[in-house]
Amino acid sequence: MPKDETSTSNYTGPIPDPDILTAKEFWEGTQNQNLVLPKCKSCKEFFFYPRIICPKKGCHKTDIIWEVASGKGYLYTFAIQHVAIDGWKEKLPFVTAFIDTDEKVRMLSVLKNVDASQPQSIIIGSRVEVKFEYVNDDISIPYWEIINDK
Among 7, 44, 65, 93, binds another protein (CB under 8 A): 93
Pick the piece of the chain touching another protein (CB under 8 A) from 2-10, 28-36, 61-69, 93-101.
93-101
Torsion angles phi and psi, residue 125, rounded to 5: 95, -5
Residues 11-40 binding another protein (CB under 8 A) are 13-19, 21-23
Closer residue to another protein, CB minimum distance, 2 or 16: 16
CB of 100 to another protein, least distance (A): 10
**Range 38-67, binding another protein (CB under 8 A):** 48-51, 55
Q: Residue 58 half-sphere exposure, CB side, CA atoms within 13 Å? A: 3
What distance in Å separates the CA atoms of residue 19 and residue 27, rounded to the nearest whole number? 8
Is the separation of the CB atoms in 131 and 145 below 8 Å? yes
The C-alpha atoms of residue 21 and residue 8 are separated, in whole angstroms, by 27
- CB nearer another protein, residue 14 or residue 68: 14
How does strand 72-81 pair with strand 127-134? antiparallel
Nearest approach, Cβ of 72 to another protein (angstroms)? Answer: 17
